Amino acid sequence: MQAVILIHGGAGTLFKGQISAEREAAAREGLQQALAAGVACLEQSALDAVEAAVKVLEDCEVFNAGRGSVYTHEGLQEMDAAIMDGRQCEAGAVAGVQGVRYPVSLARAVLQHSPHVMLSGSGAVAFARQQGLQIEPPEFFHSDYRWQQLLQIRDQDRTALDHALGQDEKKSFGTVGAVALDVHGALAAATSTGGMTNKRFGRIGDSALIGAGTYADAHCAVSATGHGEYFMRAVLAHELSARLRYTGQTLEQAAAGALQQVTELGGAGGLIVVDAKGNWRMPFNTGRMYRGVQTLTGSGEVWIY
């Protein structure tokens, strides 16, 4: 067993040469900083590691989470997040929150300081204030880049993902996540997202749903990114764990098989997973997935394509 952390910054349809050099460099820097923050916590706990890594990515405007969150049809930034401790399968999640600086930390507060697993909307924000978590005004989260993405498609009554998969192969998505195995053998997973550009009616994706976009138990930890509706229908993260527990598949086979179910349903995206022995995989079926890995004693590696 070797302590390790994996991170992702989302999967999408962009191919090499379609991302500006500036945004690509910023993404790589954000991934490296997230790895450094996470690996520094691996001697404490996997839960600390995934929270620390995701907080860095939530603060990086390149990714669709926290400060870089996309806009809803109404021009709001509504964020979802989840975190799970594999030791006792304890979990916390939030959905549709506004103004919370670090949604992943709010999810952890739900895990540790409430009797619930998921809180949403204004109630989740009220709980964040009660817990003393950082709240920021709307202008703190504003991104002209994300605003322009909304304006391009708002009148078409389509989400950015529909637009990307149907017409424009240059669209990109940036849900973030982390999974880790610490020095004590514990596993944890966390995922955070702003959802889909132009989403309506309080839509919630897979990131905040335990077993769909986020899951950790004694066997593995999983964080997913992509078209959330398909990941929910496949119950992807739990499906991967079940394959390891009940079929005798290797981690590579289980990860590939779980993602194949999403593909067969018509979905696109990817996942990161680590098992209790420190084995890991990062499969995806899109043009790129921002991702990285670092062991406790090794140097971090990041990739986009």
Catalytic residues: 175
CA distance 50 to 206: 18
Residue 38: alpha-carbon gap to chain centroid: 15
Residue with tokens 């004693």: 297
Contact present, 46 and 152 (Cβ < 8 Å): no
Alpha helices in the chain (DSSP H): 21-39, 46-58, 103-113, 121-130, 138-141, 144-153, 160-166, 228-234, 236-246, 251-265
Contact present, 226 and 173 (Cβ < 8 Å): yes
Q: Is 114 exposed, middle or buried (0-12, 13-18, 19+ CB in 10 A)?
A: middle
Q: What is the DSSP string of 191-204?
A: EEE---TT--TT--
Contact present, 13 and 165 (Cβ < 8 Å): yes
The CA-CA-CA angle for residues 238, 184, 236, to 5°, reads 10
Contact present, 49 and 27 (Cβ < 8 Å): no
